[in-house]
Amino acid sequence: MAKEMFLAGCSSAAYGAMLSRVEVISSYPIRPYTGIMMELSKLVANGELDAEFVHGEGEHAQVSIAYGASAAGARAYTGSSGVGVTYAMECYSPAAGGRLPCQMAIADRALDPPGDFGSEHTDVMSARDQGWIMGWAADPQEVLDNTIMYFKIGEDARVLLPQFCCQDGYFVSHIPGKVSIPDQKAVDEYLPPFNNPHPLDPTKPVSHGPQIFPDQGPAIDLQRAQAFIDTPKVIEEAVADFNKQFGRNYDPFLEEYMTDDAEFVFFLQGGHARTARFAVNHLREKGVKAGMVRLRFMRPFPTEAVAESLSKFKAVGTIETSTSYGGAMKGGNLIHEVRSALYDVPNPPPVTSFMAGLGGEVVSLEEFYSMAKVLTQAAKDGKVDQYVYWVNFDKV
Amino acid sequence: MAFNYAEYIRPGKLPHIWCPGCAHGTVMKSIIRAIDRVGLEKDRTVIVSGIGCASRMPGYVDFNTLHTTHGRSLPFSTGVKLADPGLNVIAVAGDGDALAIGGNHFIHTCRRNIDITLIVFNNNIYGMTGGQFSPTTPHGKLASTTPYGNPDYAFDVVELAMGAGASYVSRSTAYHAIPLERQIADGINHKGFSVIDALCTCPTTYGRRNKLGSAVDMIGWFKDNTVGIKAAGKLPPEKVEGKILTGVFRKEEKPEYCDEYAKIIEKTGGRS
């Protein structure tokens, strides 16, 4: 029987990893994700989880340990935050190219300078093109559920890709919520043991990560790209099975809130969705037809689902929570993906972006109301005046 | 006349972040007094740190200061020193910062023998992140990630520095603040890479979990459990057994990196 606990996102991730029966865990302390490892070290030490727990000498070593464990056939789990995520950058492509479906829990955090502890998505968004599956949870329940689902998706023989299982630092990682903890037996039915098709095995030696010649590179790149093309179908199946097995109601790619008759929507990822829902409710009370669309997977980016959803509205505002300095739109990253997804849609809605939720700042209700004014005008005019608004600095 | 600390402190940066009973402030005092003792010019002195409790120290003192990424106080310091060898460069790091994530930089800076003074604030734990075991957490001790005891064995900072080739190596404690001050001054005056292992305490995340008593008890422990290396040679073995040795372990003249670099520039007729 499932039981209910009151858990913050860090503990929830640890329980998700335990229920997934992870076999090798590699840790290194950095706030805020480190709470996951403190919880897991206790679960291992108390015999509740039969796993090897290794403390690396840095994040680079941490991800290398997870790589090695996964190559040897174990279900491997690691994690980090902020500069820890970027310090391990060298290891991400080898894990993805090696098709090793280890999982890295991310409780995001602003990058230096000057040493900010707050939530911001830029850390792991910087690694979005390394070949890892990636998406944000919006609350502790979804953190636990995604942890289990991501292993199911990543370990599928059609996929074999590592996963960044992300949650907002502090807003999700450290704010407790009610979490339904599924029964171990039900999780075992959903998630079979990891079966690495090419494990390192002394009785049947194989070679991982050998040096190759330049002409062999593109073929391997194409295989990795093809895996991402095949992954959305696997996500749909894995989410549908999860919903059935555990009585949840996740859409595979997008959470839509009050979108049926919405004129404009806020488009975002992660925990700020909780404030966005309140903002939409309040705006509706004032007669403003606002809605929210929350992205559940950044990679693979669900291009078709996004195009289908967002083409229904008269204006779209992405809430960036990450930076893309000097990028095509000179603001964040989401707008690039969204505008690309809408490019071939006839009469696409105008899209603008809001730089908000950076450096650990809460995206407040007032900020949502200000953004709503911009989007109301854009819906009326059928165009946007600018592509980037720095909330609280620009004319917003 | 009482020592004027105010001359070296940035009052706007106080209060500091250290917990009550933390010994980092004592080590900071020793560093300030050592700099004063040597008579370094403030504007020609750079203090560099990585990440962690110890690495907050440069923020509080009125020199040129550089707060960098985790484990990297030494490579950043190396860049500063090479760009302007005339600067006095002092690096500070915690035990996790210096020896885990920055362990590679530590040994290579020792090997290179560049004229930098490193003070390791060695309190046996990652304090800032909640008491995870570090490379100097003793075997068997409790940490938030080793609830039944640490299976790893600790680095000995002094032996590691000597093995890697540092030309000045010493150890003192937060209890022995005056000898610590003398060692830091000695290290600054020494031409080459100097490593000072400054044993200090974390009552909050290490002492409490390991039942080591109050902050004062923990400082007192250093008094009862250390022996100076000069005295150790004259004592019967049973008086030295199990004690931590303190003092200057190595002080040797050895070619310094910036000097050697300048020689190559001169030899090849280049411009420095």
Above 80 in pLDDT, residue A395?
no
Q: Which of B51, B70, B129 sits opposite A34 (nearest CB)?
A: B129
How many angstroms separate the CA atoms of B176 and B272, rounded? 42
What tens digit of pLDDT does each residue of B64-82 get? 999 999 999 999 999 999 9
User: Please, which contacts does B37-41 make with residues 24 or more away whose CB atoms are closer than 8 Å?
Assistant: B37/B181, B37/B182, B37/B185, B38/B185, B38/B188, B38/B189, B40/B88, B40/B188, B41/B88
Place of tokens 């190759």: A212
Instruction: Report how far residue A20's alpha carbon sits from residue A6's, in angstroms, rounded to the nearest whole number.
Output: 20
Provide the sign of the torsion angle of the four alpha carbons B171, B173, B176, B178, taken in this order: positive
Please measure the distance between the N-terminal and C-terminal CA atoms of chain B and give it in whole angstroms: 44
pLDDT of residue A192 exceeding 70, the answer is yes
Residue among A41, A58, A87 whose CB faces B145 most closely:
A41
Instruction: Return the closest-CA partner of residue A128 out of A170, A171, A86.
Output: A86
Of B67, B126, B135, the CB nearest to A29: B126
Mean pLDDT of A242-270: 98
- pLDDT above 90: residue A283: yes
Per-residue model confidence as pLDDT tens digits over B170-223: 999 999 999 999 999 999 999 999 999 999 999 999 999 999 999 999 999 999
DSSP calls for A199-217? ---TTS----S----GGGH
Q: Which parts of chain B fold into alpha helices (H)?
A: 24-38, 57-60, 73-83, 95-96, 103-112, 157-164, 177-189, 215-225, 229-234, 237-240, 257-267
Q: Which of B96, B103, B147 sits opposite A41 (nearest CB)?
A: B147
- Domain limits, chain B: 16-267
Q: What is the DSSP string of B193-253?
A: -EEEEEE---IIIIITTTT---HHHHHHHHHHHEEEHHHHHHS-HHHHTTPEEEEEEEE--
> Could you give the CA distance from residue B78 to residue B201 in angstroms, rounded to a whole number?
28
State the sign of the Cα–Cα–Cα–Cα dihedral A144, A145, A146, A150: positive
Query: Which B residues 110-139 touch A at CB under 8 Å?
Result: 126, 128-130, 132-133, 135
Which of B67, B128, B130 is closest, CB to CB, to A38?
B130
A254-257 vs A163-167, strand pairing mode: unpaired
Angle at A163 between CA A158 and CA A168, to 5 degrees: 145
Q: Which fold has domain B16-267?
A: Rossmann fold (3.40.50)
Tokens of A64: 């290398």
B159 contacts B99 by C-beta, under 8 angstroms: no
Report the C-alpha gap between A136 and A357 in whole angstroms.
Answer: 14
In DSSP notation, A135-170 reads EE-SSHHHHHHHHHHHHHHHTSTTT---EEEEE-TT
Structure token pair of residue A135: 């998406």
From residue B50, alpha-carbon distances to A155, A314, B43 in Å are: 38, 49, 21
Q: How far apart are CA A27 and CA A42, in angstroms?
A: 13
Cβ atoms of A294 and A257 closer than 8 Å: yes
CB pairs under 8 A between A and B: 59
The pair phi, psi for residue A381, each rounded to 5°, is: -80, -20
pLDDT tier, A218 (very low <50, low <70, confident <90, very high otherwise): very high
Lookup result for tokens 């095509």? A328
* Average pLDDT, integer, range B93-113: 97
Q: Is the pLDDT at B270 greater than 90, yes or no?
A: no
pLDDT for A374: 97
Query: Measuring CA to CA, which residue among A193, A38, A164 is closest to residue A92?
Result: A164
B51 in contact with chain A, both atoms CB, cutoff 8 A? yes
Question: Which residues from chain B sit within 8 angstroms of residue A27, using beta carbons?
Answer: 132, 145
State the pLDDT confidence band at A396, using cuts at 50, 70 and 90. low
Distance from CA of B227 to the nearest CA of A (A): 31
- Does position A275 have pLDDT exceeding 80, yes or no? yes
Work out the pLDDT band at A113, boundaries 50, 70, 90: confident
Give Cα A391 distance to the centre of its chain: 24
Q: In the block, which residue shows the tokens 């592509």?
A: A387
Q: Among partner residues B96, B130, B152, which is closest to A34 by beta-carbon distance?
A: B130
Are A114 and B71 a contacting pair at CB < 8 A?
no
Mean pLDDT confidence for A232-238: 98
Q: How far is CA B259 from CA A297, B73, B111, B191, B209, in A?
A: 55, 21, 15, 10, 47
B53-63 pLDDT tens trace: 999 999 999 99
Mean pLDDT of chain B: 96
| Nearest one of B268, B267, B258 to B112, comparing CA atoms | B258
Residue the block writes with tokens 């989401």: A334
User: Which of B129, B142, B148, B160 to substitute to test the interface with A, most A CBs within 10 Å?
Assistant: B129
A253/A298 Cα distance (integer angstroms): 9
**8 Å CB contact between A316 and A349:** yes
Global pTM value:
0.93
* Res A115: pLDDT: 75
- DSSP lists the bridge partners of residue A389 as A354
* Domains of chain A (ranges, CATH numbers): 3-246 (3.40.50.970), 254-390 (3.40.50.920)
Q: What was the ipTM of the complex prediction?
A: 0.85
State the pLDDT at residue B197. 98
Q: Per residue in A317-340, pLDDT tens?
A: 999 999 999 999 999 999 999 999
Cβ–Cβ under 8 Å, residues B92 and B54: yes
Does the CB of B67 have a partner CB in chain A at under 8 Å? yes
Residue of chain B whose alpha carbon sits nearest to that of A83:
B69
Q: CA A144, CA A13: separation in Å to the nearest integer?
A: 5
Q: How far is Cα A302 from Cα A315, in angstroms, rounded to an integer?
A: 19
Whether A133 contacts A161, CB under 8 Å: yes
Q: How many CB atoms lie within 10 A of CB B60?
A: 22
Q: How many residues does chain B have?
A: 272
How far, in Å, are A175, A360, B3 from residue A178 at the CA level? 10, 23, 56
pLDDT at B231 over 80: yes
Residue ranges of chain A whose CB lies within 8 Å of a chain B CB: 27-31, 34-35, 37-38, 41-42, 45-46, 53, 55, 57-59, 83-84, 87, 112, 114-115
The phi, psi pair for B192, rounded to 5°, reads 145, -175
* Chain B partners within 8 Å of A29 (Cβ): 96, 126, 129-130, 132, 145
Provide the pLDDT for residue B272: 63
What would the pLDDT profile of B6-65 be if each residue is shown by its tens digit?
999 999 999 999 999 999 999 999 999 999 999 999 999 999 999 999 999 999 999 999
